[in-house]
Structure formats: C-alpha cells, structure tokens
Amino acid sequence: MSKNQASAAGSFRDKLKNLTDTNLLLAITIIVFFLMYLGAVIFQGGGFLKPQAFFNILSANAALVILSCGLSLVMITGGIDISVGGVTALISMCCAVYLDFHGGNVMTSAVIALAIGLGFGLFQGFLVAYLDIQPFIVTLAGMFFARGLTTIVNTKPFNVANEAFTKLKMTRVTVPFMGSVNKRGIYVDAYVEIGVAVAVLVVILMFCFLRWTKLGRSFYAVGGNAQSALMLGINVKRTRFISHVLCGLLAGIGGFVYFLHVGSGSASHAAGAEMDAIASSIIGGTMLTGGVGNIAGTFFGVLSLGTIQNIVSSAGLDQAWWSGITRAVMLCLFLVIQSVVMARKKKA
C-alpha cells in the first residue's frame, strides 16, 4: 500500500518537474482565478452564487476574449498590436452606418467587419515583417488612423435600429440545467449572448492551431529566439506577417462581436480595449518578450479581469476607479511572477 502511495507521489513529482514554463504560468493563472471566484462566492454571496453571474461575465467579455486571442498570437511571436481597440471602434461605426443609413443586411455587415480587420492586419503585418518597422510604432499609427477614420465615417454616436440586427443582438443561447430561481420565485434559465459561442469557438480553434500545427509551433520558435528559428529553416518574416494577419482577422471577428454586444456605433467604443487585451494575455501567461503563451491562459485572464469588475461593484465600491486599481495590482503581480519564472529558467 505504502509502495503504491510512494510511487504515486513520485510520478506526481515527476510531472511537476516536467512542468514547462508555459504550463506553470497557466497553472498559476487558473488557480488564482478559481481562488478569486471562490472568494467572491464566499464573501459576497448573494448574486455570485448564481451561475448566471459567471455567464454574465462571459457575455460582457466575449469580444475581449477574441481580441485577446489575437493579441496573444502576436505577443507569442514577439510582436505587439495596439490597434485592435481602434479597429473595433471603426468596425462598429462602419457596420452601424451600413445597417442604418444604407439599409444593409446583417450578413454583409459581418463580411465588412472581417474585411476591415483583415485589411488592417495585412497592411500592418507587411510593414512589420517585410519592412522591419517596429510593431509598436506601426500599430500605434494604425490605432490613431482607425480612431480618426471612425469620426470621418460618422461624427455622432447612435444606436442601430435595423430590426434583423436587433433580433440577432437579443438572441440568447440558453445553458441548460444552470438556471436559478429569482426574487419572484420564477425559474429563469441561464443564458449567454450569441457572441460567447463565437468566442468559445475562436478559443478552441486558436488553441488547436498553436499546439498542433507546424505554423502554430513556429510562432513559439520565432518568439523564443528569432535567430535560432531562422537557422532551423523557419521563414521568420512570413511567420511574423501571418501572426499580424491573424490578429487583424481576429480583431475583425472580435469587432463584430463587440458591435453585436453594444448595438451602436461610436468613436469612443472599445477605448483601452487593446490594453485590456494585453493585460489579459499577460495574466494568462503570455510573456511580453515572446516565446511563451497559452490561449487557455488568455481565456482565464479575461475571466479574471471580468471577475474583479464584478467583485468591486458588488462590494459597493465605485467600479470605475477601484476595478482599474485592482487590475493594475494584479497585472504587476503577474509581471513579477513572469520575471521570477524567467530568472529560475536562466539559473536552471
């Protein structure tokens, strides 16, 4: 009996030893998220006990999940893309104008969204990969360009009145068996917005892409050490280019999901979304220096940030200020964790 126990403990230790950096950071992220959520349930009780609270976090952050996935892809390759917020605002304004002023249909507006995102991705990717311009500068310019273009398309913010769109916006995907009884004693099914389904799909696809395709794994190689990757025969320029194109495409998808969520066009939409996406990726275990990252971690990173918002607001604090401060504290702590892991790696 004790021999079995010893061998079981031994294999567990072995598993720990083989924990790569990526998985170590992922483990930390997931543990912290669960602790936080557990803490919220225990100390705040009430609304948090309902599964609907979790689904509300998902619904509110579906677009951010998609944007963060795109950003993680670029960060793993060692680059950055801070234009995603501006692109999202541009997409929401263009689609809103198209739907209301030109009487378009929803399908075409989705195509428009993808086209805009892809366009930005292609252009920025080309500048970064083939002209060797710093990604921060290129995407900074892209961000200003996108935001400025949004006001040229239409100066005033407005809500979309197109009926087909509003129907799609209000579609709910019911999650079975997770409903709860509300104040009146009526059983209400738990639901998520339609954007969540898209977000989950994107996460799964990107996860498989990074882990099981050659191109995905070359992202890690290029981000870890571009010189070594070049010597291994990986086309570094093409890899960087594709990472930006993918980020742009995901910004297009994320932008449309955001548009579905807010239902309006405005130049101030998604303000600071790129920062939230970067923060989520970092909390999820993606290193700013590149070469390390995990889409699952990014997903939990977004959820962690969303949970903080909910905890702050249910504690009766002014959510606008305190959630920002708490997120900043959390981000700093995770940056410290990252540098500790990196230092350990060097020592080993």
Partner 1 sequence: MIKKYVMIFIVVLAVSAGAGWVFFGCAFEEEISHDPAPCEEEDYIVIGLSQIGSESDWRNANTESFKSVFTAGNGYYLLYEDAQQKQENQLKAVRDFILQEVDYIILDPIVETGWDTVLMEAADAGIPVILVDRQILLENDELYTCWVGSNFREEGRAAGRWLEDYLKLQSRENKEIRIVTLQGTPESSAQIGRTSGFADVLSEHDNWNMLDKRNGEFTQAKGQEVMRDFLKLYEDIDVVVSENDNMTFGAIEAIEAAGKTCGPGGDMIILSFDAVRAAIQFMQAGKINAVFECNPLLGPKVAEIIERLEAGEQVEKIQYIEETYFDTSMDLEKILKERVY
Give me the residues that bind partner 1 (CB under 8 A), please: 13, 16-17, 19, 24, 27-28, 31-32, 35-36, 39, 44-47, 50, 52-53, 56, 60, 159, 161, 170, 182-184, 186, 188, 261-264, 268, 310-311, 313-320, 322, 325-326, 329-330, 333-334, 337, 340, 344
Beta carbon nearer to partner 1, 40 or 250: 40
User: Within a 10 A sphere around the Cβ of 35, how many other Cβ atoms?
Assistant: 10
Q: Give me the least distance between CB of 139 and partner 1, in Å please.
A: 24
Identify the residue whose tokens are 């989950």. 200
Cβ proximity to partner 1: between 152 and 333 the closer is 333
CB of residue 16 vs partner 1: minimum separation in angstroms? 6
90, 150 in Cβ contact below 8 A?
yes
Min dist. Cβ of residue 77 to partner 1 (A) = 27
CB 274 within 8 A of CB 143: yes
Query: Shortest approach of partner 1 to residue 271 CB, angstroms?
Result: 9
Pairing of strands 158-159, 172-181: unpaired
Nearer to partner 1, 236 or 267 (CB): 267
The SS3 of residue 159 is: strand
Q: How far is the CB of 180 from partner 1 (least distance, A)?
A: 9
Q: List residues bridging with 187 in a β-sheet.
A: 181
Closest CB to partner 1 among residues 1, 186: 186
Contact 327, 308 (CB under 8 A): yes
Which residue number, 104 or 157, has a Cβ lying nearer to partner 1?
157
DSSP conformation class of 50: S
d(CA 81, CA 214) in angstroms, rounded, equals 23
* Size of the chain, expressed as the number of residues it contains: 348
The rounded distance, in Å, linking the Cα atoms of 206 and 212 is: 10
Looking at the Cβ atoms of 130 and 321, the one nearer to partner 1 is 321
Report the nearest approach of partner 1 to the CB of residue 283 (Å). Answer: 10
